[in-house]
Structure 1
Amino acid sequence: MDNHQGVFRRELVDVQGIPLFWSTAEQWSQVETFEARPDDLLISTYPKSGTTWTSEIVDLIYNNGDTEKCKRDVIYKRVPFMELIIPGVTNGVEQLNNMQSPRLVKTHLPVELLPSSFWKNDCKMIYMARNAKDVAVSYYYFYQMAKIHPEPGTWEEFLDKFMAGKVSFGSWYDHVKGWWEKKRDYRILYLFYEDMKEDPKGEIQKILTFLEKDLPEETVNKIIYHSSFNVMKQNPNANYTSMNKEEMDHSVSPFMRKGISGDWKNQFTVAQYERFEENYEKKMGESTLKFRSEI
């Protein structure tokens, strides 16, 4: 890829009140009219909530634990990021249109922006949610290294933006609640990052049941091993090291940084924690959705 000056570090653009990458906003009609297929599986998350992890697990399941088949390409080509359109760099819609079924589709869109064809076709969807404080920290480091985002500013500034929903894909609070409500009416398996860390076997079993698949125990154990953080961190097909330094600078912060629960304690000051908790209670207090901030 040539030098894409002018593509990176641009301000976000609102689409129906949700801040998105400028290039996605410019090509929004392509995303909005995306034609889902009935056998598509949508993997949806708010950013930095275990998207790549879930994608790798599901791709391994689709290939019956055959790790060689999962080496066929990098994760962002095996599970295209639908709404990521950057001129001259990538187009998730085109990638998906050129794929054979059954397709795995990645999105970070809140429910209200998801193309209507997914609801119309009653596609199965897996949503992975992670506690807000760990997401905020992980997102801050991701903003630093993934240059499609605007400059993050200081941690304090970024945290304010995160709490106000002024980061790409909008408010974490609205995102997790929106998908939580939607699962009452659609085929959505709602998973939690902390549960997957604590009991990968139990959570992968939930995915298998949801997908109506049955795999022998030794295959499930193999999937657990190959989708573990330490193995994926070393896997060039999963760790995004294949990306151009202009797009993602791993020397600033690796794409796969720590993959733990509770890392927020190393980042938040006491004052930030107190302010965050107060704001969190206002936004999440009424919801039946409950998170664990550590395991």
Structure 2
Amino acid sequence: MSDFRPRRSVLYLPASNERALEKAKSIPCDGLILDLEDAVAPDAKATAREAACSAVASHGYGRREVTIRVNGADTEWHAADLAAVCAAGPDGIVAPKVSSAAEVLALVDAMDRHGAPDHTQLWAMVETPRAMLHAEEIAAASDRLAVLVMGTNDLAKELYAEHVPGRAPLLTGLSLALLGARATGKAILDGVYNDVRDTEGFLAECRQGREMGFDGKTLVHPGQVDGANEAFAPDKQAVDDARGIVQAWEDGSGSGVVTFNGRMVEALHVETARRTLAIHEAIVAL
């Protein structure tokens, strides 16, 4: 876990909005998705592409993970997006509507052909019923694929589902995607919360995502960053308990079973505790 990278809060920004790109340098999010797709009008695509690549080249975002979302493979802008973004070399390229392992392989092949540097990872958005049913295959298709990103708005549309508190219509899909990510050792980000005025609903959905096992949440407004950062970070009690569990285990000299605060501790609990501490330490390092 020493190379763990926090992704508690990953904020979408329209790459066509110069002011937003500048403001993002001071927003305490863990990552950015500079968007060339949904947030950009057709007549602004080329300008947005140039702005996103320039933003990456500026190295002005500190330790934030900076990615660029390209337009889909079925659009007229996709090829030009990939060529330019690979040359810019962001931390990641976010590809929308990835629904099969073959699509992952095609994207990775294109990244190789366009000379994307080794540090540029692929983030695959999974946002269709087909993607949910093939999440493990998608996640396992390439070592270059590092992150699955839930596209819950599109998934709800494809399912003819409604956005309701608790997200019952989406839980099967969310769980399938999580299983695919965890089975293959990939990170996974929860989808966006649309109503930026509904703080209570947003925080409830953050808690749900954390409890399910997501690494963090994609966001549509800077005002959501602090809530996501807190929700997806271990609290003080969790960190203290993790330290106590590890210490008890080490004091037991590998006896197999020890106790901490009256609870039985086994190797699996120690592994979880060490993960909690690694997450905490990585966040502190930010």
| Higher helix fraction (1 or 2) | 2
| Higher strand fraction (1 or 2) | 2
Larger radius of gyration: 2
